[in-house]
Amino acid sequence: MTAVLFQQVSRHFGAVRAVDSVDLAIAEGEFFAMLGPSGSGKTTCLRLMAGFEQPTAGHIEIFGETAEGVPPYRRNVNTVFQDYALFPHLSILENVAYGLMVKGVAKAERLKAAEEALAMVKLPGYGTRRPGQLSGGQRQRVALARALVNRPRVLLLDEPLGALDLKLREQMQEELKALQKSLGITFVFVTHDQGEALSMADRIAVFNDGRIQQLGTPEEVYKRPATRFVADFVGSSNVLPPEFVETLGFGRHHASLRPEAIALGGGDGRTQFTGRVTAANFLGAANRLTVDANGARVAAMLPASIAVPAQGETVTLSFQPEDLHTMDGA
Amino acid sequence: MRSDRNTAAPLGLKIAAGAGLAFLHLPILLIFLYAFTTEEKSYQFPPPGLTLKWFAVTWNRPDVWEALGLSVRVATISTAIALVLGTLCAAAVSRTKFFGRETISLLVILPIALPGIITGIALRSAFSFAEIPFSFWTIVLGHATFCVVVIYNNAVARFRRVSGSLIEASMDLGADSFQTFRYIILPNIGTALLAGGMLAFALSFDEVIVTTFTAGQQSTLPIWMLEELVRPRQRPVTNVVAMVVVIVTFLPILGAYYLTRDGDQVAGGGK
């Protein structure tokens, strides 16, 4: 079943087209990421789903029901806010039980449910504290528990890991993914971090300028970017100019080529080209080689075990023809 | 903000500061002193004798009770009106963006910037133009004009601290507008409203100028005191009442100060 459906949805703020004719269908139980730079429309799409914004044009359905005009408090959708938005005057337990309290669930019952939700996010026994007494990571878990205790059919997450440090972020990524699997709830996740989207999502919608540039699985988006923007934004792909692609024998198109698809030296059936080394960086697990090939700047990711050519040296590089992905238009 | 602990103020400055404070507060002590004097016609110093009998006299004067009752009722109702209007206005100005927002903000604050006598004359001519007879309610309306400002200033400062996402979070979790106001907004702005309400009450309680123009035959406590000063007999009764007024207005202001001192200042406290 389709959890969230957008048909030609637009949201304009005056002359600004924050969301412009977006079509998307999110399946039930899916972990769906909306990826894009700030101002690309991804957060506005999330707010349209939550009900904080109304579309200027188009149609939204949540589980088959029309969502336009339905206020946030009548939607079976909950949000984890970017700044967590915990209520500072309430204890952690009261925060988590808030959704049940306003729905009129009896006190004993809602506090028990809140305790269970806190245990689920690994914060048992934190109920009596105040939001101000918790760390950022803990507040994030409380925000998650507060949303999940209402058993929403769709959970919206607005850059939930943005404020956490790297180590904590990686840990929370795994936990969120595991939580989503065990609960079976549809997660819609907004992020500007392509690594986060690639590692967690079942499908990714890449946003730019209020439009979806590409919608597909992480592998599709990563390996076969539909536009130069996607190639540029998702990972660090080489976007090759048409003149250079033509010399390689692929026609006069822009093309994307992943740095890790390029190897030093030639080989059977591989497409070769030569370039002058402009930089070589040691990255730990790999070396990153940047070459100037007929004016095109190409980066290659080489295993650390291979000796790195010196700067200024001319080297031969090659790749499997199917790794080069030509793109039309912008 | 904080001065260096090691540099003591020079003696001359200390004396000047002390003299300034004495100039401000000694007259108030004199008022207290004359509440106990045995001389009833004039304020001679030193008082010829001390007595507590004026407290009993005051207690038995029906006109004092009438004026006090009127003042308390006016202050209570003006404050109540101001609490509703001031909070709504603060919510509109701080929560939403609309055409003329800054203008409204200015217009609301204007009554406190205008001299009371202007407000008074304006209200008086407006009332007579609309042929509204002077009554209890005209006094209340007059007082509400400046009480709204105090509430508004306090509420607007606090509203700015309540992040918009808290309200969205509450709605997201299933609370409608009334539940959100009751469970999220009110607890967060409650102390600001209480402080503003106390200040508004105190302002209304000792207001003379606007009251002079909007009252009919009735006398609020300050008006009664003004009239009483020109009468020759039982003068210390006025002093006893003055003591009561000082206490009744000082306690709420002190309370308001303690309620809001961590965070925002009590804005618009000095009319």
Chain A residues with CB under 8 Å of B182 CB are none
Report pLDDT for B266.
Answer: 39
Cα–Cα distance, B186 to A127 (Å, whole number): 23
Q: What angle is formed at CA B115 by the lines to CA B114 and CA B118, rounded to 5 degrees?
A: 90
Nearest CA distance, B80 vs chain A (angstrom): 25
B188: closest chain A residue by CA: A89
Strand A65-66 relative to strand A57-62: parallel, antiparallel, unpaired? antiparallel
Whether B31 contacts B236, CB under 8 Å: no
Nearest CA distance, B227 vs chain A (angstrom): 49
B187: closest chain A residue by CA: A89
A151: closest chain B residue by CA: B173
Sorted by where each starts, the structural domains of chain A and their CATH numbers stand as 2-232 (3.40.50.300), 237-327 (2.40.50.100)
Q: CB distance B165–A147 less than 8 Å?
A: no
Q: Identify which of A78, A87, A89 has the shortest CB distance to residue B172.
A: A78
Nearest CA distance, B102 vs chain A (angstrom): 20
Q: Which residue has the higher pLDDT, B52 or A23?
A: A23
Cα B232 off chain centre by = 30
Chain A residues with CB under 8 Å of B97 CB are none
- The parts of chain A modelled with pLDDT lower than 70 are 328-330
Mean pLDDT of B218-239: 82
Mutate which: A81, A84, A87, vs B, most B CBs within 10 A: A87
- Number of helices (H) and strands (E), helices first, in chain A? 9, 18
Chain B residues with CB under 8 Å of A72 CB are 168, 171-172
Q: CB distance B175–A79 less than 8 Å?
A: no
B182: closest chain A residue by CA: A102
Q: CB distance B169–A81 less than 8 Å?
A: yes
Tell which CATH architecture fits domain B59-260.
Orthogonal Bundle (1.10)
Report pLDDT for B262.
Answer: 54
Residues 6+ away with beta carbon under 8 Å from B202: B75, B248, B249, B250, B252, B253
Q: What percent of chain B has pLDDT over 90?
A: 20
> What ranges do the domains of chain B cover?
59-260
Nearest CA distance, B108 vs chain A (angstrom): 29
Q: What angle is formed at CA B74 by the lines to CA B72 and CA B76, rounded to 5 degrees?
A: 65
Report pLDDT for A258.
Answer: 87
Nearest CA distance, B189 vs chain A (angstrom): 11
Mean pLDDT of B96-103: 81
Sign of CA dihedral B11, B12, B13, B17: positive
Chain B residues with CB under 8 Å of A99 CB are 173-174
Cα A230 off chain centre by = 12
* pLDDT tops 70 at residue B264: no
Poorest-confidence range of B66-70, B161-165, B202-206?
B161-165
pTM here is: 0.75
A243-271: per-residue pLDDT in tens?
Answer: 888 888 888 888 888 888 898 888 888 98
Report pLDDT for B270.
Answer: 37
Report pLDDT for B232.
Answer: 67
Tokens of A259: 């740095």
Task: List the 282-321 stretch of A: residues with Cβ below 8 A of B.
Answer: none
Mean pLDDT of B89-109: 83
Tokens of A265: 């030296």
Q: CB distance A73–B171 less than 8 Å?
A: yes
Tell whether A243 lies on the interface with B, counting CB pairs under 8 A.
no
Q: Which of B160, B155, B135, B139 has its CA nearest to residue B260? A: B155
* pLDDT tops 70 at residue B1: no
Chain B residues with CB under 8 Å of A50 CB are 168, 172
* pLDDT tops 70 at residue B153: yes
Q: Identify which of B165, B174, B187 has the shortest CB distance to residue A73.
A: B174
Interface predicted TM-score of the whole assembly (ipTM), two decimals: 0.80
Report pLDDT for A239.
Answer: 85
Q: CB distance B174–A85 less than 8 Å?
A: no
Cα–Cα distance, B189 to B95 (Å, whole number): 13
Q: Binning pLDDT at 50, 70 and 90, where does residue B269 land?
A: very low
Report pLDDT for A12.
Answer: 92
Q: CB distance B168–A150 less than 8 Å?
A: no
Residues on B contacting A at a C-beta cutoff of 8 Å:
163, 165-166, 168-176, 179, 183-184, 187-188
Chain B residues with CB under 8 Å of A150 CB are 173-174
Which position has the token pair 């650390």? Answer: A304
Report pLDDT for B6.
Answer: 59
Cα–Cα distance, B184 to B190 (Å, whole number): 10
Q: Binning pLDDT at 50, 70 and 90, where does residue B221 land?
A: confident
Whether A245 contacts A254, CB under 8 Å: yes
